[in-house]
Every structure is written in C-alpha cells, then in structure tokens.
Amino acid sequence: QVQLVESGGGLVQAGGSLRLSCATSGRTFSSYAMGWFRPAPGKEREFVAAISRSGGYTYYSDSVKGRFTISRDNAKNTVYLQMNSLKPEDTAVYYCAATTSRYSGNYYRNSEYDYWGQGTQVTVSS
C-alpha cells in the first residue's frame, strides 16, 4: 500500500505561483510514475502532468504546458508541481497519483493510476 499526501495549495492572485508537493510512503517511490490531476467539467479528473520513474521524462496537458513544471526527488519520496502564471481557470482540487505502468502513452488516463492522494485546494482569484 502507498500513501500519498499533497500539500502546498492555497489562495493566489492571477499571475501568481504556487508549488504543490506530494509526499509518499510505502513501497519504493522510484517504482512509480507520478501524475497530477484536477477535476474538470464533464470529466472525473483531468490530466495535468506526469513524470517518469527516473524523472527523465515529463508530460503535460496543453492547458498547462509552459506554465507548470513537474519534478520529483526520489531521495525524498516526493513529487512537485510548480505552477506559474496561474489563471482563475486553474482553480481546482489537485490530486497526485502513482502508477506502476511503464507505458507512458497511458499516463494521461486517470484509470491508469493505482494510488491517489486526498487532494489540495488551489484557488486563483482574478
């Protein structure tokens, strides 16, 4: 069993920045690719970003590409989401998730992930 705990959410003005963290415990962190998701209208959870087990490959949705950066520190068992140039439409609960899948082509699918955190609220005011 893997536990994921997100932190770093809060209230920020449009154009501002936040850094989310997701600390994990349980099995070896480096065994998992990690993703960030958020709810979206008509979808259970919308893909935001993902990172490979080593951290060498990163993936982003078009809506956040160029503004958000995903990274990980395998020594600290933590994945991060640096969010810059935030917009009101980025307001959401952000969830981190872990997957043992080795097929990066599926990292945008929330069904691909085995474990989920409880989420952290991000609110961007206009």
Quote the tokens at residue 14.
């449009």
Neighbours of 107 (CB within 10 A): 22
What amino acid is encoded at 102 in this protein?
Answer: R
Q: What is the pLDDT of residues 68-91, one digit of tens each?
A: 999 999 999 999 999 999 999 999
User: Sheet harboring 78-83: ordered strands across?
Assistant: 3-7, 18-25, 78-83, 68-73
Q: Residue 26: pLDDT above 80? A: no
Q: What is the pLDDT of residues 50-68, one digit of tens each?
A: 999 999 999 999 999 999 9
What is d(CA 91, CA 93) in angstroms, rounded to the nearest whole number?
A: 7
CB 104 within 8 A of CB 41: no
Q: What is the pLDDT of residues 8-24, one digit of tens each?
A: 999 999 999 999 999 99
Query: What pLDDT is attached to residue 11?
Result: 98
Query: What pLDDT is attached to residue 41?
Result: 79
